């Protein structure tokens, strides 16, 4: 049962809405422009506000639907389902494992699992980290590492803490890849 839930949630998460919307709007492959991420932020910046908003909503729905399915199938299934959906979003098999950052999918699933103020608290930490660092990936990484403690303390629950660690690991791994890629690009000499 758990394996089926993880596979179904991964497949839901791996629907590349950013890729489809970028192609429909501008006939471009979102994987080769801007940050090259197949996600909401890159679509906003490179394609436009409306396709960016649609991408965010649809990516959020992936997490929401997966969490709902998980809740309906087993106890704590929403945790497994949401992490699997985030993994699918970040590393979709049909785009050669080149996806987005996972934040919209994470938030969508969180809407089912947690109260709105918990989500606002985590987003507030991310926003504060961004205002200090001015770096999208680094600020997301900071929020990821704080998230398990917030969830564990608020709910006085090891299940919530472990879910936070799993979610932080998945999103954090993607952000670390992105930080490493950006560092390499900054170190490369520019041609005149």
Q: How confident is the model at residue 57 (pLDDT cuts 50, 70, 90)?
A: very high
pLDDT tens-digit series, residues 155-188:
888 999 999 999 989 988 888 877 777 676 666 6
Kindly list the domain boundaries of the chain, sorted by start residue.
1-104, 114-192
* Residue 114 DSSP class: S
pTM of the model: 0.88
CA distances 184 to 117, 174, 189, Å, are: 38, 16, 10
| Mean pLDDT (whole number) for 34-52 | 92
b/e per residue, 7-20, with b = 16+ CB within 10 A?
A: ebbbbbbbbbbbbb
Any idea of the CA torsion for 49, 95, 169, 147, to the nearest 10 degrees? Answer: 20
Tens-digit pLDDT profile for residues 74-92: 999 999 999 999 999 999 9
Q: How far is CA 53 from the centre of its chain?
A: 15
């Amino acid at each position: 049962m758990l394996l089926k839930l993880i596979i179904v949630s991964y497949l839901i998460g791996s629907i590349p809405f950013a890729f489809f919307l970028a192609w429909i709007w501008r006939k471009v492959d979102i994987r080769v422009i801007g940050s090259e991420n197949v996600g909401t932020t890159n679509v906003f910046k490179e394609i436009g506000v409306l396709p960016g908003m649609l991408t965010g909503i649809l990516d959020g729905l992936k997490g929401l639907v997966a969490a709902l399915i998980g809740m309906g199938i087993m106890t704590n299934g929403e945790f497994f389902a949401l992490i699997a959906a985030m993994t699918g979003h970040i590393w979709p098999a049909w785009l050669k494992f080149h996806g987005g950052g996972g934040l919209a999918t994470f938030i969508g699933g969180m809407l089912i699992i947690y109260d709105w103020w918990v989500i606002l608290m985590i987003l507030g930490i991310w926003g504060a980290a961004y205002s200090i660092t001015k770096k999208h990936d680094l600020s997301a990484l900071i929020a990821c590492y704080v998230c398990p403690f917030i969830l564990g303390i608020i709910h006085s629950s090891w299940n919530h803490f472990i879910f936070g660690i799993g979610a932080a690991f998945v999103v954090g791994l993607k952000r670390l890849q992105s930080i490493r890629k950006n560092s390499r690009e900054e170190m490369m000499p520019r041609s005149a």
